Amino acid sequence: MTARNIRITWNPIPCGSRGGNITDYRVRLNLAGHTKRLRYVDVTTTSAQFDRLSPCTSYIITVTTLSTGGTTSFNQREKTKAVAPGKMSMLRAIPTANSTDVRITWRNPIANNCPASNFTVEYQLMNRDQCNSSLLSDRTLWLNNTQSPTTITGLYSHSTYRVYVTPFNHVGTGREKTVKGFTNPSGK
Q: How many separate domains does the chain show?
A: 2
Using the predicted structure, report yes or no on whether residue 112 has a pLDDT greater than 80: no
Which residue(s) pair with 124 in the sheet? 162
pTM metric for this prediction: 0.74
Contact, 43 vs 24, CB < 8 A?
yes
Question: 44 with 10, same domain?
Answer: yes
Contacts of 47 (CB under 8 A, 6+ apart): 7, 8, 9, 10
Are 19 and 95 found together in one domain? no
Beta bridge partners of 73: 64
Asked if residue 108 is part of any domain, the answer here is yes
For 10-31, write each residue's pLDDT tens digit: 988 777 676 778 889 999 999 9
Does residue 149 sit in the same domain as residue 73?
A: no
Determine the Cα–Cα distance for residues 14 and 44; give it in Å rounded to an integer. Answer: 15
What's the mean pLDDT in 100-121? 85
The pLDDT value recorded for residue 135 is 61
Distance of CA 100 to the CA centre of its chain: 33
Residues 68, 21: contact at Cβ < 8 Å? yes
Q: Is the domain of 67 the same as that of 119?
A: no
- In terms of domains, do 112 and 163 share one? yes
Region for residue 100 given its phi and psi (left: phi exceeds 0; alpha: psi -120 to 50; beta: otherwise): alpha
Question: Which among 79, 102, 125 is the end of a domain?
Answer: 79
Instruction: For residues 93 and 164, state if they share a domain.
Output: yes
Q: For the chain, give the mean pLDDT.
A: 87
> pLDDT at position 145, please?
67
Let me know if residue 84 belongs to a domain. no
Q: Which of 49, 79, 109 is the last residue of a domain?
A: 79
What's the average model confidence in pLDDT over 163-185? 91
Q: pLDDT value at position 27?
A: 94
Parent domain of 97: 89-182
Same domain, 93 and 178: yes
